[in-house]
Amino acid sequence: MADDPAYRGTMTRTIVQMVDADTDLLHTVQKVIDAPALQRMRISKSLAWLPAEPLDRLKQIHYDHAGQDAYVAFWRRYMTGIAENPLFRRLLEGGKRIFGNDPAGLLKWMPKGWALSTRGCGTFTVELGERRATLVLDGAPASTRQSSTGQTSRATILGVFDLLDVEGKVEVDDTRMNDGHFEMHARWG
């Protein structure tokens, strides 16, 4: 259905490839997510829409299995890896040309990246200040209302810092996650 929460195939395929490279994590994931769902994620076309629920379950399983620090490290690697993805490469390169190494520029474009890679998964907004930003995910569907969602967003922002070689910190406020609301408070420099 057109309004059902979904992720682009390029996103799910890349994530499952990273999970496949960690046999311990893959074994844990395979206990909970059925083989056909994993296979659909592995072979999906880049622009295809895949239901969000299996990937959301995979993320929470991974979070519970690895712990917060290892989970965030995984997603930081994912974020820096998407700089090579054709869907996002031009967006990132354009942002770096326009804004240089100021994270504000790329963070300002995060809602565009979210809109390209998700459907029915809520909306991101960004409020920028002096070497700080508040990113808000609102309207997150039920399958994403879990701790891993806030930490995935945190890691994505940290990945932006990594891409720009900038030191920064991100705090997550997920106290309203049951309402589909997450806030990430970032500071750098």
**Which domain CATH number covers 178?**
3.90.1520.10
Q: If you average pLDDT over every residue of the chain, what do you get? A: 93
DSSP readout, the chain?
Answer: -TTS-EEEHHHHHHHHHHHHT-HHHHHHHHTTS-HHHHHHHHH--TT-EEEHHHHHHHHHHHHHHH-HHHHHHHHHHHHHHGGGSHHHHHHHHHHHHHHTT-HHHHHHTHHHHHHHHEESS-EEEEEEETTEEEEEEES--GGG-SHHHHHHHHHHHHHHHHHHT--EEEEEE-TTGGGTEEEEEEEE-
Q: Is residue 169 part of a domain?
A: yes
Q: Is residue 67 part of a domain?
A: yes
Q: Is residue 1 part of a domain?
A: no
Report residue 48's pLDDT band, with 50, 70 and 90 as the boundaries: very high
- Tally of structural domains, the chain: 1
pLDDT digits (tens, 9 = 90+) for 103-114: 998 898 889 889
Domain that holds residue 108: 6-188
